[in-house]
Amino acid sequence: MKKVIISTLFASLYFSAQLAGAGELSADLKAGQDLYNQLCVNCHATGVDGAPRLGNKDDWKERLRMGEDTLYEAVIEGPNHMYSKGNSPIESEGQIRSMIAYMMHSVTDDETSKLINTATDEEKARHMRLLRGYKNYDLVCFNCHNSSEEGAPQVGKPEEWGSRKDLGVDKLTDSVINGKGHMFIRAGTANFSEADYKGMVEYMLSTLERLQSSKQ
C-alpha cells in the first residue's frame, strides 16, 4: 500500500512539474490543478480501473474529441468505475469543469488541440450511452458475459458472437427482454427499462468494434 501511495505521489509531482515547465497556468487551471491533487490524483495519476491518466495522450485522444461539456456530463453521472463526481462533495459546476480542463490541458499541444470537441452530436450521445451501458452491464450482465457462463457470448470475443453480432442492437435487445437459451427474461431483473437493456447490448457490441479497430 505504501508503494502505491509513493508511486501515485511521484506521478502527480512529475506531471505537475511538466505542466509548470510548459508555462504558468491560468488561474482557472491552477484551481483545477489544486482540486485534481486533492480529489482525482489517486486514480488519474496511474490509471486505476481504466481512468485516463494525466498527461497520457493515448488515454485522452478520444475524450478530447468529446469536448468539455460531454466530459462534464460524464463526470456528473460517473463513467465506468468512477462514482458520480468522483465521489467528491463538490457541488460547484465551475470547480468540476476546472478539474476537467486541467486534465485536458495536460495532454493538449498544437496537434491534440485540433481534436478538441470535434465529435459529432451523435458520437457524443453514443459516448454517453456506452458509459451508461457499461455501468448497467457491470450490474446485470457481468457474471455470464465476462466468462461465457452457460454459453453466453463473451465481451471482446467476436468468435463467440458469430452471426449474432450482425443482428444489430434492436434484435439483440429483443432477445434479452424475451429471454434466450439459458438467459432469463430481462436477464433475470425487472429493474431496467428497454432503453437500459439496449444500452447494455450496445456496450457489449462496442467491445467487438474496439477489438477489430485495434487489429487494423
Cβ atoms of residues 66 and 117 within 8 Å: yes
Provide the pLDDT for residue 179. 93
Provide the pLDDT for residue 81. 84
Is pLDDT of 182 > 90?
no
Is pLDDT of 134 > 80?
yes
Provide the pLDDT for residue 102. 98
Provide the pLDDT for residue 214. 41
**Cα angle at 159 between 158 and 162, to 5 degrees?**
85
**DSSP 8-state assignment for residue 184:** P
Contacts of 31 (CB under 8 A, 6+ apart): 95, 98
Q: Give the residue-averaged pLDDT of 113-141.
A: 96
Cβ atoms of residues 162 and 190 within 8 Å: no
Cell 486534465 locates to 103
Provide the pLDDT for residue 23. 53
Reduced to 3 states (helix: H, G, I; strand: E, B; else coil), residue 128 is helix
Contacts of 139 (CB under 8 A, 6+ apart): none
Q: Do the domains at 2-115 and 121-215 have one common CATH topology?
A: yes
Query: Which one of 1.10.760.10, 3.30.70.1290, 1.10.10.10, 1.20.1420.20 gives the CATH number of domain 2-115?
Result: 1.10.760.10
The rounded mean pLDDT for the chain is 88
Residue range 1-58, pLDDT digits in tens: 444 444 444 444 444 444 444 456 889 999 999 999 999 999 999 999 999 999 999 9
Is pLDDT of 59 > 70?
yes
Q: Which of 90, 78, 91 is nearest to 138 (CA)?
A: 78
What letter represents residue 78's amino acid? G
Q: At what angle do helices 57-77 and 121-140 cross, to 10 degrees?
A: 70
Query: Which one of 1.10.760.10, 3.30.70.20, 1.20.1250.20, 3.30.70.890 gives the CATH number of domain 121-215?
Result: 1.10.760.10
Is pLDDT of 82 > 70?
yes
How long, in residues, is the chain?
A: 216
List residues bridging with 180 in a β-sheet. Answer: 183
pLDDT-derived band at 215 (thresholds 50, 70, 90) equals: very low
Cβ atoms of residues 31 and 95 within 8 Å: yes
Domains of the chain, by residue range, sit at 2-115, 121-215
Is pLDDT of 124 > 50?
yes
Of 7-11, 89-93, 123-127, 193-197, the least confident: 7-11
Provide the pLDDT for residue 141. 95
